[in-house]
A and B are shown apart, each in its own frame.
Chain A
């Protein structure tokens, strides 16, 4: 971690070194961060003045912030001046439809198993694909538009729906929230935006596939989803990155806002490159995700399957502000080799009769370190609030570790709190039992782990659940296992 003086020193040096960059018209910005880079990003995105101002305020505030050190992970200091903050693939012409997308990029997605056209036709999934920083193609837009649903890249939203962006951006995760959220606010280059108008139930799963491609690129995407009164939307997010020796930083921000009687379901499968088996390379996944159940009877539900990244630092949380609002967090986090995860949630009960559920399943293998960190806060006035928390850890082998840090703060005597936790280990006896029935140890491990995760997988949309199961097998090096 970088002490402030070192950071400032680096900045000073870099600012000198790179100086003024306004003449650049390459698609990759020089390494390092300063106000000119922020301006460059804003100019590349052709952003209005108010938006640039917001970025600059975020950047200036970020300079005063310190990288958090309380998490249960270790990594060498990050040199924030050694990162490229903007990289865009070069489109030959403006992207209007899928056919206009660079064939190479489409091939890349095909390799990842996300053929856009296939998905468009068969799966009924509208995909907003983010390659490095520019949203490449947004499908299904027209059909959604008929219902008044806006689903587009963040940059497009800034131009097309500035009133919505201005109204909600930073209202759940303000730029001064934390170090990584501040960084993201200053330099994020794209992301997804969705707005579902009052009373509309979004008829398909909205989906974004993120991918980090260029080397030494930080990906800082930002997602903003608003469900207006009585609206419903389910959003799927998948992430993957190619293999690189060096660590790459990914600092995203996701904000969800549910108004009266609205519901947002947000599912993530995170499979960023985890580094090799000796712990070399891999993504640093430092992400701030938060949903605000703003309206009465609203609901925000998070489901995450985290199998990738060298380090994961992520706490998808719910602010239960509206009376009778509901927050949910269902999580599977798997670490293998030298991966580290410090993940969990915060449930902040502010409104009356608010309810929250936390189901966390942590799997540790190899030399992995897996931490569940959760905070449940019942604020004064949140009468009859209820929380149920369950965090289970599964250990595979004897060199991994699991930690649990639950924190419960109750200021309301009518609150009902339940907390359950368990730790178990895949033992030689379980494996032998399966073997004695003809099942290989690899298949047995896969089966046991999937059984352990079942409660969470059931919360995923069908096709994601299948992918999640496969991913667990792959992440534990159980290739060739039966599905």
Chain B
């Protein structure tokens, strides 16, 4: 579904990703872990199409299409969803209005009709129930005055309603208390399906206790230095990143950073 080859990305003139190779098939859940500043968020954002990230080499194909050539909104319409680490607030625009606009934009792109108002209400109720959320938050402004945990839950909720093919979750577990973490993890697990792929970017093992990945990749200094299964994540939790760094000789330009 997603094929990343030798991807190089610069941010503000500085190379952050230095040749990423990653292949994700439908039905798989991949976790990307790594220390601060290793490029995890950059990888997520560049897949979603953030303009401040400059692709300097390599490619990423989504279902055979050149993902990097698509506008951000077209990536979303093709079925790529990114759950943001820091979701924005838009006062005065209700969650319901926003989500409906997003859903209809995607449907229109796919040649479907706009969703009927009543069908939308039913859809929202069903998904809220599925995730164990109280749907009254739909009437509030988009993330307006939401706590960190509420914002993250809202990301997963949007994901459930929009039903993307590829879910990229950027540190969705950060800043969550244990109850919120369970809700978010449950949402992700509910979304797991043979037709859907997931790329879970995280700092900690604890999310992976609930969402058990098929593959774990360790990102260090802009490169995937080790890949494995769920055990790799557990080892990282126990021993930290140090042992991997020792195994991997650091490229000279990283010494300054």
Q: Which residue of A lies closest to B94 (CB)?
A: A451
Q: Does A443 sit within 8 A of B, measured CB to CB?
A: yes
Pick from A428, A434, A443, A448 the residue with the most CB of B within 10 Å: A434
Q: Which residue of A lies closest to B73 (CB)?
A: A435
Contacts of A448 in B (CB 8 A): 90, 93
Q: Does A440 sit within 8 A of B, measured CB to CB?
A: yes
Asked whether A455 lies within 8 Å of B84 as measured between CB atoms, the reply is no
Q: How many residues of B contact A (CB 8 A)?
A: 33
Asked whether A433 lies within 8 Å of B84 as measured between CB atoms, the reply is yes
Asked whether B101 lies within 8 Å of A432 as measured between CB atoms, the reply is no
C-beta contact mask, A441-471 vs B, less than 8 Å → 1, else 0? 1010001101111110000000000000000
A-side binding surface: helix, strand, loop or mixed?
Answer: helix
Asked whether A436 lies within 8 Å of B101 as measured between CB atoms, the reply is no
Contacts of A428 in B (CB 8 A): 51-52
Q: Does B49 sit within 8 A of A, measured CB to CB?
A: yes
Least Cβ–Cβ distance between A460 and chain B, in angstroms: 15
**B window 141-195: CB within 8 A of A:** 141-142, 158, 162
Q: Does B106 sit within 8 A of A, measured CB to CB?
A: yes
C-beta contact mask, B76-110 vs A, less than 8 Å → 1, else 0? 11000110100110111100011101101110010
Asked whether B104 lies within 8 Å of A482 as measured between CB atoms, the reply is yes
Least Cβ–Cβ distance between A212 and chain B, in angstroms: 33
Q: A433-B87, A437-B158 are in contact. Are A450 and B92 (CB under 8 A)?
A: yes
The listed residue (B50, B52, B90) touching A430 by CB distance below 8 A is B90
Least Cβ–Cβ distance between A462 and chain B, in angstroms: 17
Asked whether B82 lies within 8 Å of A435 as measured between CB atoms, the reply is no
The listed residue (A433, A438, A447, A455) touching B88 by CB distance below 8 A is A433
Asked whether A435 lies within 8 Å of B88 as measured between CB atoms, the reply is no
A-B contact count (CB 8 A): 80
Asked whether A438 lies within 8 Å of B109 as measured between CB atoms, the reply is yes
Q: Does B72 sit within 8 A of A, measured CB to CB?
A: yes
Asked whether B72 lies within 8 Å of A454 as measured between CB atoms, the reply is no
Tell me, in angstroms, the Cα distance from A482 to B87 when the chains sit together: 23
Pick from A427, A435, A443, A482 the residue with the most CB of B within 10 Å: A435
Q: Which residue of A lies closest to B86 (CB)?
A: A429
Q: Does B48 sit within 8 A of A, measured CB to CB?
A: yes
Q: A440-B105, A443-B101, A482-B101 are in contact. Are A455 and B92 (CB under 8 A)?
A: yes
Contacts of B158 in A (CB 8 A): 437
Least Cβ–Cβ distance between A429 and chain B, in angstroms: 5
Q: Does A439 sit within 8 A of B, measured CB to CB?
A: yes
Tell me, in angstroms, the Cα distance from A428 to B52 when the chains sit together: 9
Q: Does B71 sit within 8 A of A, measured CB to CB?
A: yes
Contacts of A440 in B (CB 8 A): 73, 105
Tell me, in angstroms, the Cα distance from A293 to B17 when the chains sit together: 67
Contacts of A452 in B (CB 8 A): 91-92
Asked whether A439 lies within 8 Å of B141 as measured between CB atoms, the reply is no
Contacts of A435 in B (CB 8 A): 49, 71-73, 76
Give the interface residue-count category, chain A.
20 to 34
Least Cβ–Cβ distance between A1 and chain B, in angstroms: 39
Least Cβ–Cβ distance between B150 and chain A, in angstroms: 16
Asked whether B88 lies within 8 Å of A436 as measured between CB atoms, the reply is no
Contacts of B48 in A (CB 8 A): 432, 436
Least Cβ–Cβ distance between A430 and chain B, in angstroms: 5
Asked whether A438 lies within 8 Å of B92 as measured between CB atoms, the reply is no
Tell me, in angstroms, the Cα distance from A347 to B90 when the chains sit together: 31
Asked whether B92 lies within 8 Å of A451 as measured between CB atoms, the reply is yes
Asked whether A453 lies within 8 Å of B76 as measured between CB atoms, the reply is no
Asked whether A439 lies within 8 Å of B93 as measured between CB atoms, the reply is no
Q: Which residue of A lies closest to B80 (CB)?
A: A436
Contacts of A430 in B (CB 8 A): 88, 90
Contacts of A438 in B (CB 8 A): 73, 76-77, 102, 105-106, 109, 162
Q: Which residue of A lies closest to B97 (CB)?
A: A447
Least Cβ–Cβ distance between B90 and chain A, in angstroms: 6
Q: A438-B105, A439-B102, A447-B98 are in contact. Are A432 and B92 (CB under 8 A)?
A: no
Contacts of B81 in A (CB 8 A): 436
Q: A430-B88, A447-B93, A452-B91 are in contact. Are A437 and B49 (CB under 8 A)?
A: no
Least Cβ–Cβ distance between A482 and chain B, in angstroms: 7
Tell me, in angstroms, the Cα distance from A482 to B107 when the chains sit together: 14
Tell me, in angstroms, the Cα distance from A453 to B90 when the chains sit together: 12
Tell me, in angstroms, the Cα distance from A448 to B81 when the chains sit together: 21
The listed residue (A427, A436, A441) touching B84 by CB distance below 8 A is A436
The listed residue (A433, A447, A453) touching B101 by CB distance below 8 A is A447
Q: Which residue of B lies closest to A449 (CB)?
A: B92
Asked whether A436 lies within 8 Å of B72 as measured between CB atoms, the reply is yes
Contacts of B162 in A (CB 8 A): 437-438
Tell me, in angstroms, the Cα distance from A427 to B81 when the chains sit together: 20
Contacts of B75 in A (CB 8 A): 436
Tell me, in angstroms, the Cα distance from A441 to B72 when the chains sit together: 10
Contacts of A427 in B (CB 8 A): 88
Q: Which residue of B lies closest to A361 (CB)?
A: B92
A-B contact pairs, 18 of them (CB 8 A): A427-B88, A430-B90, A433-B88, A435-B49, A435-B71, A436-B76, A436-B82, A437-B76, A437-B99, A437-B162, A438-B76, A438-B77, A439-B102, A443-B101, A447-B101, A451-B90, A451-B93, A482-B101
The 10 closest A-B pairs by CB, nearest first: A451-B92, A451-B93, A435-B72, A438-B76, A437-B102, A438-B105, A454-B92, A438-B106, A435-B73, A433-B88
Give me 14 other A-B pairs in contact (C-beta within 8 A), A430-B90, A432-B51 excluded.
Answer: A432-B48, A433-B84, A434-B98, A436-B76, A437-B105, A438-B73, A439-B101, A447-B97, A448-B90, A450-B93, A451-B93, A451-B142, A452-B92, A482-B104
Residues of B within 8 A of A (CB): 48-52, 71-73, 75-77, 81-82, 84, 87-88, 90-93, 97-99, 101-102, 104-106, 109, 141-142, 158, 162
Residues of A within 8 A of B (CB): 427-430, 432-441, 443, 447-448, 450-455, 482
